Structure 1
């Protein structure tokens, strides 16, 4: 850790902290551009404080700039495990490389890109330092409306940054005033004290925001609803199982206040976006309608302005996609025309596929990419043309025996998908797909260079289609796909959603469940599930993702344009994965009729695997399942499981690579050793070994 982060001598730690031009905004808060550096004195002027307030939005962009985006938030959980790339393997396996020093190539990391536990710690305190300056000096702003706006933003960012720190590390250093000079003597607050500060900051932000005023553009601007959402989350966190040792005096009041805060956000920003697909999959380019939805409560802003992207920009498009160019043998080449780079970091677990209702839940088929088109014909003697299916992933269920005797993998003649009377069903005719017609193959037995199935003979065989030593062949999710890139490995330009209203419903539902108000909980859950169901008239085999932004990309000419058409077939494997389902455009129904009794089959299977019983535990684990279905890959699974005391249980049950996860240790992250080693006593002497040990979390 840079030990002078709490100083007033910052070079502007927010450095135009990625000036407001980085925002996807309609009406800018500031009329003048920010420059790259300001003197300290400038930030003690009214205009300087306003500029510093704007810069706070830049601090949140860090979360999605590199490998830490997934390492600290998604690895080591029930939802995702590592594929064949081992950059951040230790965050998933919980081996000894996940320690206070941090993994390096010298300590066994696969490469120099491994995430250090110091990464989040350092970055959050930079933002906190900026917020402290605004809060301490806001009184010099004479205009009350401007002063309140600056205070609202500063309290929110400080609360959010401390939320992220406490969620990961437990009790942390609470620095609430601008520090003079280099500070190397700190006290570590308890987790109880730390949550009190987080909640206080969010309460202050909530009080200072003036309702739903979109200063910078919907989805980007923080508003009263944003503060309400995170206030509800912080109160729920304090009332949750990880804090059982000390939180008994808070639980009822926190849950009721959380319900009130969540209700404000729901009433102010509802209803939910009509179609789940429109939240992510229909992203068509910079500042598209997808980024302006009322459901979005907070997003990290990005656009095409290279001067504001920061060190890394938005790299999230790299992490969810399988290594298609490798296992396809070159039939499907990667490029800017496919919205995701095939870095194969995040491989869904069996639980992640199985927790969905494969027939009735549209979220599964609007999220998983299951078909890639051939954009490179390798063998002219094979009956495969450009634009034919090149990779086909069948996401069937454990009880399906359709494909028990078929061969899958690379260069295998595909099974004959004819009806029993020998005719090819009409819905399978045609290579291309529109929103109303089309399908997968043009002839039975068509050769497809690569194919995968989840289950054969009741066994989960998906990981068998792999490169060594770990599978790199899986169905990735599309929530970060970006066809607006200007180079194969160029930066993404889309905003990254950090909070949205569907989660607010699930937070409120969990609060109700904890208060044993199960009817109210079910109502909120059903609101989320109603949007997830198929609507009348929907084509269930239609698929789209952020690759569609390539249509508005200046590179969309010549061969690149053809590669886009050939690669993105706009189809999924819904009917191949559900072979007993006739073609239909009827609405489906996901509504619960009782809760938490008589849950859907897929949930009962998960609860049985976990050995869960009892009314409250059934309710909690169902909500955790629903969070997977609704929020898969949205950067918060680790903290959710740590909060609820279910991390060890669910990781062990569903993540085979999390072999070293340990109770009373891995519920928290290690405090960075670089920070501890730099601490001094008040008299300037070094800490003793015992004092350093007292700073560290248990088990490290």
Structure 2
């Protein structure tokens, strides 16, 4: 261990940042940064500082790091034609301790630095340390316990995020007392012990299920239980196998108990309709933000205090570059819930992991139809409100579209008049939940169309605008039609934990203990919600664009563009062309696990070489996590934890495969800015050898 000194950030600056980034979703009082540090050693100040902790988690969704450090470089998402954070996906030489700038090869000045998470998590930890150290100054026991519960929870959560990304980090659990500190880099084992201790303390201090500082989901005992279970599972997982043998059994058993508490505390069931989690968002603080299934969310609303640098920017990252497609038939604007920044392009795996017929989550998640809102050529026979972009998510064994051509260059933004036309189809009027259609019969031409497969080959990635594909079906979990400017902040909360994951965490614990029947029962709870229910219109689609119906900008031409752009339809029947229109219920129930798995999972097991019962069961849960949690900000962490990152990225992410390296890329580089600021006890600079000892292997 290296014991060194560093020039610390003054506590006042830390507290000011924490207070200044708070969300009024959880607050009934005015926030200010005018207080001295002594204020935060009073009962009133400590309670105010506790409230401010909710602001720290909003950082995660305020900029490009939201996807760069959580989703890129995995089996689920790769980069599209925008290369802002390309290095986090490709694992090339620009992903290093100093970070990438335009002078070192970054596409622009927005690339995420390795120090982004490091710095922000320690800001939050500093506030927590102040609360914990001074809690005895709060006479009211209920208030004191509430403050301690929140402080232990956020400190545990922040150290969880740090350890998951970097491995061993600096454990600082006392308030700063000056600008010079001795720091020791703790081992990963020591860090997980601290995370688990903090989350156990939070679990013990939280009593009851509701602490309300204002409108919105707040942290509760169930929240602490969920993350305690995740931390225990992490310590019992493959990345820690060099040292975790003495913990595994007890950690898995405790994690199961923690999951069981969280599940029971939230009524033991999931929200009935998967669309209610994301797609049916209708505006600021709407009912779906208060669902019992949500265990933790970063709070945002229309108040100016939730805007700015760490406002919600996530609506930018999952949408293809539709405004540049052939003919410019679809113009972007606040009436469409997502900006077409084309950051996160789904891999073939992310489409093929679903049962395209029976899994409603696929069709309630992927946006596959855009309506024409800009009639660029009146001679083309296309009117406003006709489908202008259609994504056909067919399967490898579908040959309906084998004979169709897409132009010599296969460039989606450069279709020719004739070569780019797919079958004509009948298009019903704007969809409702019970009526409307988009079926493959003679009818209307659609100028921009994508298919996944021709002749059994994956061709979606061939629809390119140099150098990389930018024509893909994006996901809708962040769409927000409440924005008051095209590039303004989103106003919806960002879900960070929910009960479906708790069931899957418990299932994985059962798998690791060899209890496959209990694991299957938990998995089936999640899959039951994913089934089509009797009477559902399978071609109906919705997303957060519908919040525009309550937007003050919803007048005149903007109102027309909203109606024309959002047709509430998907391509379910075009993508499953042999299927008759039906409103029957579907089934996804597992009856044998893990010896017999669904066809889509068997294909994945073959691709990654998973053969033993344990490998098949673990990887099935990873598949189920994709189906349930696609794009929910934790895939890199999950694959690193389970020792599957390298195998899955090489198998399913063509951009990541050439460079990703075992023994290196399971951890992130320690920020060079931090290492360069370290001093020895005698005040001298670290030698190059000492600096190297601080760095993770391979960087």
Deviates more, 1:257-266 or 1:432-441: 432-441
Matches of 1:468 and 1:36, distance apart in 2: 48
- The aligned counterpart of 2:224 is 227
Structure 1 residue 448: Cα displacement: 1.2
Counterparts of residues 326-365 of structure 1 (less than 5 Å): 326-365=324-363
Q: Are 1:377 and 1:384, in contact at CA under 8 Å, matched by a contact in 2?
A: yes
SS in 2 for 1:14: helix
- The alignment status of 1:58 with 2:55, answered yes or no, reads yes
Matches of 1:475 and 1:429, distance apart in 2: 19
- The aligned counterpart of 2:118 is 121
Counterparts of residues 496-535 of structure 1 (less than 5 Å): 496-535=494-533
Q: Are 2:58 and 2:310, in contact at CA under 8 Å, matched by a contact in 1?
A: no
Counterparts of residues 314-329 of structure 1 (less than 5 Å): 314-329=312-327
- The aligned counterpart of 2:261 is 264
Unpaired segments of 5 or more residues in structure 2?
407-411
Match of 2:104 among 80, 103, 107: 107
- The alignment status of 1:206 with 2:203, answered yes or no, reads yes
Task: Encode CA deviations 1:374-420: one digit per residue, 9 max, x unaligned.
Answer: 000111111100000000110000000011112345355644467xx
Match of 1:37 among 34, 39, 50: 34
Matches of 2:263 and 2:439, distance apart in 1: 44
Q: Are 2:216 and 2:285, in contact at CA under 8 Å, matched by a contact in 1?
A: no
Task: Encode CA deviations 1:641-667: one digit per residue, 9 max, x unaligned.
Answer: 000000000000000000210010000
Structure 1 residue 441: Cα displacement: 6.7
- The aligned counterpart of 1:424 is none
Alignment coverage as a number of residue pairs: 684
- The aligned counterpart of 2:175 is 178
Counterparts of residues 284-303 of structure 1 (less than 5 Å): 284-303=282-301
Structure 1 residue 634: Cα displacement: 0.1
| Alpha-carbon distance change, 474 to 250 in structure 1, aligned in 2, over 3 angstroms | same
Structure 1 residue 685: Cα displacement: 1.2
- The aligned counterpart of 1:546 is 544
Match of 1:632 among 630, 647, 650: 630
- The aligned counterpart of 1:666 is 665
| Alpha-carbon distance change, 443 to 581 in structure 1, aligned in 2, over 3 angstroms | closer
Task: Encode CA deviations 1:420-477: one digit per residue, 9 max, x unaligned.
Answer: xxxxxxxx45232111111237972522120000000001000111211100000000
Q: Are 2:18 and 2:127, in contact at CA under 8 Å, matched by a contact in 1?
A: no
Structure 1 residue 12: Cα displacement: 3.0
Q: Are 2:440 and 2:577, in contact at CA under 8 Å, matched by a contact in 1?
A: no
- The aligned counterpart of 2:686 is 687
Q: Are 1:332 and 1:373, in contact at CA under 8 Å, matched by a contact in 2?
A: yes
Match of 2:616 among 615, 618, 629: 618
- The aligned counterpart of 2:388 is 390
- The alignment status of 1:374 with 2:372, answered yes or no, reads yes
Q: Are 1:218 and 1:293, in contact at CA under 8 Å, matched by a contact in 2?
A: no
Q: Are 1:13 and 1:126, in contact at CA under 8 Å, matched by a contact in 2?
A: no
Deviates more, 1:148-157 or 1:682-691: 682-691
SS in 2 for 1:347: strand
Match of 1:305 among 300, 303, 306: 303
Q: In angstroms, what is the RMSD of aligned CA positions?
A: 1.5
SS in 1 for 2:448: strand
SS in 2 for 1:497: strand
Give the TM-score, by structure 1 length. 0.96
Matches of 1:585 and 1:443, distance apart in 2: 19
Match of 2:21 among 12, 18, 22: 18
Q: Are 1:205 and 1:227, in contact at CA under 8 Å, matched by a contact in 2?
A: yes
- The aligned counterpart of 2:91 is 94
| Alpha-carbon distance change, 499 to 676 in structure 1, aligned in 2, over 3 angstroms | same
Q: Are 1:363 and 1:532, in contact at CA under 8 Å, matched by a contact in 2?
A: yes
Matches of 2:257 and 2:510, distance apart in 1: 11
SS in 1 for 2:380: coil
Task: Encode CA deviations 1:24-58: one digit per residue, 9 max, x unaligned.
Answer: x5xx5xx5322233111110110000000000000
- The aligned counterpart of 2:696 is 697
Task: Encode CA deviations 1:571-595: one digit per residue, 9 max, x unaligned.
Answer: 0000000011100000000000011
Matches of 2:666 and 2:158, distance apart in 1: 19
Q: Are 1:219 and 1:298, in contact at CA under 8 Å, matched by a contact in 2?
A: no
Q: Are 2:229 and 2:259, in contact at CA under 8 Å, matched by a contact in 1?
A: yes
SS in 2 for 1:393: strand
Deviates more, 1:246-255 or 1:306-315: 306-315
Matches of 1:664 and 1:440, distance apart in 2: 49
Give the TM-score, by structure 2 length. 0.96
Q: Are 2:49 and 2:131, in contact at CA under 8 Å, matched by a contact in 1?
A: yes
- The aligned counterpart of 1:488 is 486
- The aligned counterpart of 2:142 is 145
Match of 1:465 among 442, 463, 466: 463
- The alignment status of 1:405 with 2:432, answered yes or no, reads no
| Alpha-carbon distance change, 17 to 258 in structure 1, aligned in 2, over 3 angstroms | farther
SS in 1 for 2:388: strand
- The alignment status of 1:134 with 2:110, answered yes or no, reads no
Task: Encode CA deviations 1:334-370: one digit per residue, 9 max, x unaligned.
Answer: 0000000000000000011000000000000000000
- The aligned counterpart of 1:652 is 650
Q: Are 1:506 and 1:627, in contact at CA under 8 Å, matched by a contact in 2?
A: yes
SS in 1 for 2:477: coil
Structure 1 residue 8: Cα displacement: 2.9
Q: Are 1:10 and 1:40, in contact at CA under 8 Å, matched by a contact in 2?
A: no
| Alpha-carbon distance change, 610 to 125 in structure 1, aligned in 2, over 3 angstroms | same
Q: Are 2:334 and 2:482, in contact at CA under 8 Å, matched by a contact in 1?
A: yes
- The alignment status of 1:251 with 2:253, answered yes or no, reads no
Matches of 1:243 and 1:317, distance apart in 2: 35
Matches of 1:117 and 1:273, distance apart in 2: 37
Structure 1 residue 682: Cα displacement: 1.3
Unpaired segments of 5 or more residues in structure 1?
419-427
Q: Are 1:610 and 1:650, in contact at CA under 8 Å, matched by a contact in 2?
A: yes
- The aligned counterpart of 2:409 is none
Counterparts of residues 65-80 of structure 1 (less than 5 Å): 65-80=62-77
Q: Are 2:74 and 2:645, in contact at CA under 8 Å, matched by a contact in 1?
A: yes
Deviates more, 1:111-120 or 1:298-307: 298-307
Matches of 2:61 and 2:50, distance apart in 1: 21
Matches of 1:513 and 1:417, distance apart in 2: 48
SS in 2 for 1:498: strand
